[in-house]
Amino acid sequence: MLTNRQLQILQVIVDDFVTSAQPVGSRQISKKDWITFSPATIRNEMADLEELGFLEKTHTSSGRVPSEKGYRFYVDHLLQPQVMSAEEVIQIQSVFQRRMIEAEQVIKESASILSELTTYTTILLGPDVQRHKVKKFQIVPLTDQTAVAIIVTDNGHVENRVFTLPTGFSLSDIEKMVNILNDRLIGVSLQNLHLKLEVEALFVLKQHIQAADAVIQSLIQVTGGQKEGKIYYAGKTNMLNQPEFHDLNKVRMLMDLMDKESQIQNLFKSKDASIQIRIGSENNHLAMENCSVITASFGVGEESGSIAIIGPTRMDYQRVVTIIDLMRRGLSNALSQRSD
């Protein structure tokens, strides 16, 4: 167990290193108003903390930096939520105050705000929308040969799918098709939409539209649906601004990882309602050995998703935990109101 003096020194070193990205020396610590012991005493305690594995000494300075073990102890025992400014709270809450905004847009804007406030990379895994039910079906022609199917669900989700029109398919045919599809598809879940199109809707459409078979087959191909929640990124290149990632190989590995959806999905394996923090090697991936990942879930049941903030191990944990907690509560409330 660390002594109170060691706890104070470890906290100062983590906090200062988060801010400056520079090794922290005993003289720098002794200048803190609340530190009452001498630089010599601090040096001895720093040496002990290094021996215990909580600190590391760099090659270029007599100062110390936190080790992965030091960060883990800090997160588990010393972390305190940070008080956010009124302006920051308003910025987060603003996205939830526009009642008519689509659920997908809420999640996209939330990712952007999180990235802006933390200066790190944000990834949001949206709810699995496949159980949402069709509320309205609309078709808008783009050219003589293409159109976009707009599917609005009961939870405010909107799907846009571009599909091919048969030659000679008229505006009158489109109008008939929209009326029939709305009659047959309202209340059908997105995961069953292609089956309903292929069986019931096609049978009725064939009685009214000559090229029904071709247009429905085209529509079926694009409405197979995404089986997992959608992934939204913001601040993907923010890591380039961190001193730890001036090494191009590190950046390349991290960017390659983010391009692999299956790997990103692994960040969200835990559905624990609490905020989870994984540091360095705890992420079990070479590209993430210099990163920390803070994750949190939002929503309830079918209307649930996850947030991940990726930053360097020298992350401002206090600030990020406070921001991500406020955001997940806002998202949960917003999704809950939509499902009522």
Residue 100: per-residue pLDDT: 53
Q: Does pLDDT of 259 surpass 70? A: yes
**Residue 328 binned pLDDT confidence (cut-offs 50, 70, 90):** very high
> CB-side exposure of 325: number of CA atoms within 13 Å?
15
Would you say residue 224 has pLDDT above 80? no
Q: In which residue ranges of the chain is CATH 3.30.450.40 found? A: 86-127+229-339
Biggest alpha carbon distance in the chain?
91
pLDDT in tens, 280-292: 999 988 999 999 9
Spatial strand order in the sheet of 158-164:
134-141, 146-153, 158-164
Q: Give 120's pLDDT tier (boundaries 50, 70, 90).
A: very high
CA dist 210 and 265 (Å) reads: 44
Pick the CATH number of 86-127+229-339 from 3.40.50.300, 3.30.1330.90, 3.30.450.40, 3.40.50.720: 3.30.450.40
Query: What is the mean predicted confidence (pLDDT) over 101-128?
Result: 88
The torsion angles phi and psi of 113, rounded to 5 degrees, stand at -65, -40
Helices (H) and strands (E) in the chain, counts: 13, 10
Give the residue with greater pLDDT, 63 vs 50.
50
- How far is the CA of 219 from the CAs of 45, 167, 198, in angstroms? 69, 15, 9
Print burial letters for 224-241: b (CB count within 10 Å at least 16), e (below 16): ebeeebbbbbbbbebbee
The token pair at 300 is 């309830």
* Whether residue 236 has pLDDT greater than 60: yes
- In CATH terms, 130-222 corresponds, of 1.20.140.10, 3.30.390.60, 3.40.50.880, 3.40.640.10, to 3.30.390.60
Cα–Cα distance measured from residue 105 to residue 111, given in angstroms and rounded to the nearest whole number: 10
For 145-181, the pLDDT digits (tens) are 999 999 988 877 788 889 999 888 989 999 999 999 9
Q: Rounded distance, CA 8 to CA 5, Å?
A: 5
Question: CATH for 4-78?
Answer: 1.10.10.10
| Tokens standing for residue 334 | 């917003």
Mean pLDDT, residues 207-214: 87
> Per DSSP, what are the bridge partners of residue 138?
150
pLDDT over 70 percentage in the chain: 93
Residue 265: pLDDT band with limits 50, 70, 90: confident
Report the length, in residues, of the chain.
340
Residue ranges, CATH 3.30.390.60, the chain: 130-222
Long-range pairs, 160-168, Cβ under 8 A, ≥24: 161/219, 161/222, 161/223, 162/222, 163/215, 163/218, 163/219, 163/221, 163/222, 164/215, 164/218, 165/141, 165/215, 165/218, 166/211, 166/214, 166/215, 166/218, 168/211
- Range of weakest confidence among 4-8, 227-231, 253-257: 227-231
